[in-house]
Structure 1
Amino acid sequence: MLLHRLTRTAGATAAVLALSVSLAACGDDGDAKDTDSGSAPSSDSGMTSDAPSDDAGDTEGAAAQTFGPGCSAIPTSGAGSFDGMVKDPVATAASNNPLLSTLVTAVTSIDGLADTLNGAAALTVFAPYNDAFAAIPEKDLNGMVMEGKEKGQDSALYKVLAHHVLGANDDPTAVVGDQETLAGDQLTIEGDAESGMTVSDGTVTAQVLCGNIPTANATVYVIDKVLTGVK
C-alpha cells in the first residue's frame, strides 16, 4: 500500500500537495484541513510576474532563499506568505496560500492524507498552482476528486498526488537529477536557481515558477503544469 510506503519513508513521510476552490461543484464539499481553504480565492494567473519579492522586516529571511519569476505573486503578509508558510507543516502551509487553492480539495478528498502529509518528517513537494489545473477538463478533475473520496489511496488521484512528492527535504542543489517519488516512479529535475528549473515525468515537463519555499517540514516548488505520471 502506498500509504504504508509514505509512513516508512523519512519517518512519517507522506504523499503530496494541497488543493481547493476552483473545482466548481466539488470545491464546496472538500473540507480543508485545519483551515478554511475551500473559501480561498483562485489565482488570476499572477505567477507570470517578475522577480521574487523580498519583503522587508520579518519576511525577508524566508523570501531570500526562494527563486523564480512567480515568487512576487506570493502574498506578502499573512499565513500564505513566505514568512507564514515557514511556520506551518506543508499541507496547512499550502492551503493558506491562495495560489495553491485548487489543490486542497484533492488532498482533503482522500481521508487522512492531509494529516499524513503534515506529519511527515521531510518532503519535497512540486505543487501545481491554480492555473495548471485549467488544462484538465473540469468534468475529469471533478471525477477524480469524487473517486478520491470513495477509494482513498486506491484512487487515481492519490497516485497523481504522490507522483508530485519526494521523501526528502531537498534544496535546489540536492533536488536536481533523477528522483524517486512517493508513487514509486521517477521525476527528472534540471536547471538551477539562477537559470531556471524544470521538472519532468517523461511525458509532461513543468517549469518551476517559484522554488525553494520553506515550510515547517517540507520544501515546496510551485510549478506551472500537473504531472500526470502517465507514460
Structure 2
Amino acid sequence: MEKKALLASALTVLAMTALPAAQAGAMSPGLSPAPVPTDTGASPPAPTDMTSPSPTDMTSPSPTDMTSPSPTGTGAMTEPFGPACASLPATGEGSLEDMAGKPVADAVASNPELSTLNDAIKQAGVAETLNSAEDVTVFAPTNDAFDKVPKDTLDKLLADKEELTKVLTYHVVEGKKTPENLTEGTLTTLQGGTLTVEGSGEEFTIDDAKIVCGNIQTANATVYLIDGVLMPK
C-alpha cells in the first residue's frame, strides 16, 4: 500500500511538471511571448523633431525695384510730331537717327527737306557758329517755305550776307525748347528780336509760320521744321 501511495504521488508531481511544457509546445515554434512593458500607460517617446526643416527663407527674393522707371518729366512729349515728319528719310542721311548724332548745321545739310536752308547757311557762313552753339532751338524753314518767298526777294536776300545772317539768326533761340516750352508767348532770338509763339499740343505757330514737324533732336539743338520764312520785325 505504501509503495502504491508513493507511486501515485510521483505520477502527480510528474503530471504537474509536464503541463507547462505541453502548454509551451502548443505555441507556434520560434515565437516568444511579447514582453509586457513595464508601464503600459506611457506614450512612446516623441521624436526630437518631426516637423519638416524650414528653409532659411521661403519667400521669393524681392528685386531692388520692381516698378518701371518713371521718365524725367512725366507727360512731356519726347517724340517728333507733325505731318511733315513722314517725309523725312526713314534711315540713312537726313533720318531722325542720323540727325540726332550731328551738330545742327550738319544735320540740316544732310536733310533733303532743308536743302535751301543749307544753301543759305553756307552763303551766310554761319555753319560753324551753329555747330558750336550749346543747346539752341532752330526753327528751320523747309524747301516749300522758301518757295513761298518771291524769287527776286530770295535772290536779293541770298546776295546780302549781312541781311541773310540777320534772317537766319532770327530763326534761332537759346535753349533746347520742348513743345511744353512753346507756350511761353514770346522767345528772344539770337538776332535780338522776339518771336511770338501760339498753340499747344501738336499745333503751334511761330509768328505766321506753322510747325510742320517738331521736336527733332540733333547733337546740340532741337529743331522745328516750319512752313514759312521768318523775317525780323
Q: In the TM superposition, what is the alpha-carbon distance from 1:90 to its structure 2 partner?
A: 0.3
Q: Secondary structure at the match of 2:152?
A: helix
Question: Which residue of 148, 151, 172 corresponds with 1:138?
Answer: 151
Please say if residues 160 and 228 of structure 1, whose CA atoms lie closer than 8 Å, have aligned partners that are also in contact. yes
- Tell me by how many angstroms 1:158 deviates: 0.9
Kept in 2: contact 1:99–1:129 (CA 8 A): yes
Q: Residue 224 of structure 1 aligns with which residue? A: 227
**Structure with higher RCO (Cα < 8 A, 6+ apart):** 1
What do the CA deviations read for 1:52-107 (whole angstroms, capped 9, x no partner)?
xxxxxxxxxxxx61011211111111120001100000000011000011111111
**CA RMSD of superposed structures (Å):** 1.5
Contact 1:207 1:224 (C-alpha < 8 Å) held by counterparts:
yes
What TM-score, normalized by structure 1, do the two folds share? 0.65
Residues 1:71 and 2:85 are matched in the alignment: yes
Code of the aligned partner of 1:156: E
**TM-score, normalisation: structure 2:** 0.64
Partner of 2:141: 128
SS class of match (2:137):
strand
Give the structure 2 partner of residue 159 of structure 1. 166
- Report the alpha carbon displacement of residue 184 of structure 1 after superposing the two structures with TM: 0.8
The count of corresponding residues between Structure 1 and Structure 2 is 156
Equivalent residue of 2:98, what SS?
helix
Q: CA deviation at 1:145?
A: 1.5
Q: CA deviation at 1:140?
A: 2.2
Aligned positions of 1:1-231 closer than 5 A: 65-111=79-125, 113-148=126-161, 155-177=162-184, 178-194=186-202, 196-200=203-207, 205-230=208-233
**What residue identity is the alignment partner of 2:105?**
A
- In structure 2, distance between residues paired with 1:141 and 1:119: 27
Distance in 1, matches of 2:96 and 2:158, equals: 28
| Runs ≥4 residues deviating over 2 A | none
What are structure 2's unaligned runs of at least 5 residues? 1-77
Q: Is the 8 A contact 1:67 1:193 kept in 2?
A: no
